[in-house]
Amino acid sequence: MIRALGVSEVAAHAGLTVDTVKSYARDGIMPPADVMIGRTKGWTVETIDAWKVGRPGKVGRPRKSTDPTT
Protein backbone atom coordinates (compact mmCIF):
# COMPACT_ATOMS: atom_id res chain seq x y z
CA MET A 1 0.00 0.00 0.00
CA ILE A 2 1.27 3.47 -0.89
CA ARG A 3 1.39 5.97 1.96
CA ALA A 4 0.53 9.46 0.76
CA LEU A 5 0.93 12.65 2.76
CA GLY A 6 -1.82 15.24 2.79
CA VAL A 7 -1.22 18.98 2.89
CA SER A 8 -0.83 19.19 6.68
CA GLU A 9 1.54 16.22 6.74
CA VAL A 10 3.60 17.68 3.88
CA ALA A 11 3.79 20.96 5.79
CA ALA A 12 5.06 19.22 8.93
CA HIS A 13 7.54 17.08 6.97
CA ALA A 14 8.89 20.01 4.94
CA GLY A 15 8.96 22.55 7.79
CA LEU A 16 6.41 24.80 6.09
CA THR A 17 3.02 26.13 7.08
CA VAL A 18 -0.15 24.58 5.73
CA ASP A 19 -0.99 27.85 3.96
CA THR A 20 2.43 27.86 2.27
CA VAL A 21 1.99 24.29 1.01
CA LYS A 22 -1.48 25.16 -0.30
CA SER A 23 -0.19 28.23 -2.13
CA TYR A 24 2.82 26.32 -3.50
CA ALA A 25 0.47 23.60 -4.80
CA ARG A 26 -1.87 26.20 -6.32
CA ASP A 27 1.02 28.11 -7.94
CA GLY A 28 2.76 25.01 -9.33
CA ILE A 29 5.77 25.25 -7.01
CA MET A 30 5.03 21.86 -5.43
CA PRO A 31 5.67 18.73 -7.47
CA PRO A 32 2.59 17.17 -9.06
CA ALA A 33 0.55 15.10 -6.62
CA ASP A 34 1.27 11.37 -6.67
CA VAL A 35 -2.36 10.54 -5.93
CA MET A 36 -5.71 12.31 -6.04
CA ILE A 37 -8.71 11.21 -4.03
CA GLY A 38 -11.55 13.41 -5.15
CA ARG A 39 -10.04 16.90 -4.97
CA THR A 40 -7.56 15.94 -2.24
CA LYS A 41 -3.92 15.78 -3.31
CA GLY A 42 -1.37 13.39 -1.83
CA TRP A 43 2.40 13.09 -2.14
CA THR A 44 4.74 10.28 -1.15
CA VAL A 45 7.52 10.98 1.33
CA GLU A 46 10.02 10.23 -1.44
CA THR A 47 8.47 12.88 -3.69
CA ILE A 48 8.58 15.52 -0.96
CA ASP A 49 12.15 14.60 0.05
CA ALA A 50 13.33 14.87 -3.58
CA TRP A 51 11.53 18.21 -3.93
CA LYS A 52 13.11 19.55 -0.73
CA VAL A 53 16.61 18.67 -2.00
CA GLY A 54 16.02 20.57 -5.22
CA ARG A 55 14.61 23.70 -3.59
CA PRO A 56 16.83 26.76 -3.31
CA GLY A 57 17.81 28.00 0.13
CA LYS A 58 16.33 31.05 1.76
CA VAL A 59 16.45 34.10 -0.44
CA GLY A 60 16.23 37.76 0.28
CA ARG A 61 18.26 40.39 1.96
CA PRO A 62 20.79 39.12 4.51
CA ARG A 63 20.17 40.04 8.12
CA LYS A 64 22.30 42.68 9.77
CA SER A 65 25.19 41.31 11.75
CA THR A 66 24.92 41.67 15.53
CA ASP A 67 28.68 41.31 15.82
CA PRO A 68 30.06 44.80 16.63
CA THR A 69 33.44 43.97 15.03
CA THR A 70 31.97 43.74 11.52
**pLDDT beyond 90 at 4:** yes
**pTM for the whole structure:** 0.75
**pLDDT beyond 80 at 54:** yes
How do the residues of the chain divide into helix, strand and coil, expressed in percent and rounded to 5? 40, 10, 50
Mean pLDDT of 39-55: 94
Higher pLDDT, 56 or 50: 50
CB 41 within 8 A of CB 1: no
DSSP annotation string for 47-65 = HHHHHHHHS----SPPPPP
Confidence tier at 66 by pLDDT (50, 70, 90): confident
